[in-house]
Amino acid sequence: MAVKILIPTPLRPYAGKKDSVEVDAPTVNDALRSLTLQYRDLKKHLYTDDGRLRSFINIYVNDEDIRYLQKEATPLSGGETISIIPSIAGGSSAVADAIAESAKQMKLSNDEILRYSRHLIIPEVGMEGQLKLKAAKVLTIGAGGLGAPLGMYLAAAGVGTLGIVDFDVVDFTNLQRQVIHSTRDVGRPKLQSAKERLQGINPEIKIVGYEVRLSSENALDIIKDYDIIVDGTDNFPTRYLVNDACVLLGKPNVYGSIFRFEGQASILGMPEAPCYRCLYPEPPPPGLVPSCAEGGVLGVLPGIIGCIQANETIKLILGKGDTLAGRLLLFDALKMRFRELKLRQDPDCPMCGKNRTIQRLIDYEQFCGIPQQRAKDLEMSAHSDFEIDAPTLKQMIDRNDPVFILDVREPHEFQICRIPNSHLIPLGDLPVRINELDSAHLIVAHCKSGVRSAKACDFLRKAGFAKVKNLKGGILAWSDQVDPTVPKY
């Protein structure tokens, strides 16, 4: 009897764009091997070169993590659902009790009583709960897609002190989902824009801004004064940094992540509950998991996940309900479906396990392989054989030089804009369509910004193509340097 393997969005380009595949297999290992035999490009995303399952990929049978069953040898009887969960860019009386002590010194003004009246008439909140909200100090990391809705709802709910860490500026591409900012804010620091919007929503609260990049040098000093940390980050180094700082300081970490149509949420680092390293012991290699800038994200998705984070934060403050501690909530916007998986604390976790080996914050860019990737990129850019800039390509086109312009983006991106005379072969299709390319001609590959096309060039060189160059900066550079009528996205 067959088992169903659910394919997450980031891996679907390597699995024939399918969201699920059925295989006949007696064990999880056999099921995954059967899957990668059908879709060979998927193998490198699931397994290391020496055949081990990658540590940033978690496998669940129904709702159980195979690490706590029989791992890849877990037997299958048929009818099970196997979930591939890659890393994606109960009420706590302890937290609530600590906040309650501060709340004893608080009072609500008549204006505040009117403002929060719909809370005050809920028995689970009431005056006592609203005073806890007023006494609470919550730090949000990021004022972007996730930080926008959670910040607005926490401000509206009356969380007394909101801290915001963000050093970015508002861009036009942010406006499709980062609802805390408006068109007139483009070019302004996100922190400035966010503070103004939140203060407009609720002038009764205190907003503290940190216009810095969170780092190992400043994280502990910033985080230590807050009761709850809400992770709205979009990159792996900061995500591991936030996790480790929260565990070291004993702070709850309200986690959320998004990609295209899918989101995840949980509460990490609670006593007796797992931390982020329990879920994903190691980060993916740089570039293997696409960012929202490369892969896209449905505009309302961060609103849904951010609101879930805000909801969990409020429950922690009130000490009410069952929180997501020990559970991973998965959301699929296309199917409008929520799923829940059990999370367990890894007793051997180097951060929160019984024998902790990480005693201080480390170099997280080094841990995530960023410097090595930068060095590789610099090495490639230093060789003219590897890259070509947009003006040079334009000159070659004007001279009618024999050049094959290979566009490795997706078909829907090709519809947005294109370079004249370019040929579309999406990166995921390249291995099976390589016969369409002539190794005698110079091939210039491009994508949106140069990341995917660099992978395409690397693949083609290994396949024996000697005349291959990557368009530096992709079609965005073409728009900036050659033809400004080409729309940017």
Calculate the average pLDDT of the chain: 92
Is residue 254 pLDDT above 60, yes or no? yes
Give Cβ neighbours of residue 261 (< 8 Å, ≥ 6 apart): 9, 298, 301, 332, 333, 334
Say yes or no: 233 and 298 in one domain.
yes
Say yes or no: 80 and 97 in one domain.
no
Report, in this order, helix, strand and coil percent for the chain, each rounded to 5: 40, 20, 40
Report, as residue numbers or ranges, the catalytic residues: 292, 447
| CATH number reported for the structural domain that contains residue 72 in this entry | 3.10.20.30
Express each pLDDT in 153-185 by its tens digit.
999 999 999 999 999 999 999 999 999 999 999
The residue-averaged pLDDT of 365-380 equals: 69
The residue-averaged pLDDT of 429-433 equals: 93
- The C-alpha atoms of residue 489 and residue 476 are separated, in whole angstroms, by 8
- The C-alpha atoms of residue 38 and residue 233 are separated, in whole angstroms, by 35
Distances (CA, A) of 183 to 168, 173, 177: 16, 10, 12
Lowest average pLDDT, out of 254-268, 291-305, 336-350, goes to 291-305
Say yes or no: 118 and 263 in one domain.
yes
**Taking the model in full, what pTM does it have?**
0.80
DSSP count for the chain of H helices, then E strands: 20, 18
Is residue 377 included in any domain, yes or no? no
Is residue 372 pLDDT above 70, yes or no? no
Domain end (from 40, 61, 86): 86
pLDDT greater at residue 379 or residue 288: 288
Say yes or no: 211 and 306 in one domain.
yes
Is residue 38 included in any domain, yes or no? yes
Say yes or no: 201 and 234 in one domain.
yes
Say yes or no: 289 and 398 in one domain.
no
Residues of the chain above pLDDT 90, percent: 78
- The C-alpha atoms of residue 123 and residue 254 are separated, in whole angstroms, by 25
Express each pLDDT in 51-92 by its tens digit.
889 878 899 999 899 988 999 999 999 999 999 998 775 444
Domain end (from 339, 372, 405): 372
Is residue 488 included in any domain, yes or no? no
Is residue 378 pLDDT above 80, yes or no? no
Domain end (from 39, 54, 86): 86
- The C-alpha atoms of residue 334 and residue 322 are separated, in whole angstroms, by 26
pLDDT greater at residue 364 or residue 87: 364
Is residue 232 included in any domain, yes or no? yes
Domain that holds residue 12: 3-86
Strand order in the sheet with 3-6: 20-23, 3-6, 81-86, 57-61, 64-65
Say yes or no: 336 and 458 in one domain.
no
The 10 Å Cβ neighbour count of residue 407 is 26
Q: Is the CB of residue 159 less than 8 Å from the CB of residue 106?
A: no
Express each pLDDT in 286-301 by its tens digit.
767 777 777 789 999 9
Say yes or no: 237 and 304 in one domain.
yes
Domain count, the chain: 3
Is residue 457 included in any domain, yes or no? yes
Question: Which residue(s) pair with 86 in the sheet?
Answer: 57
Is residue 165 included in any domain, yes or no? yes
Band of residue 16 on the pLDDT scale cut at 50, 70, 90: confident
Residues of the chain above pLDDT 70, percent: 96
Say yes or no: 82 and 10 in one domain.
yes
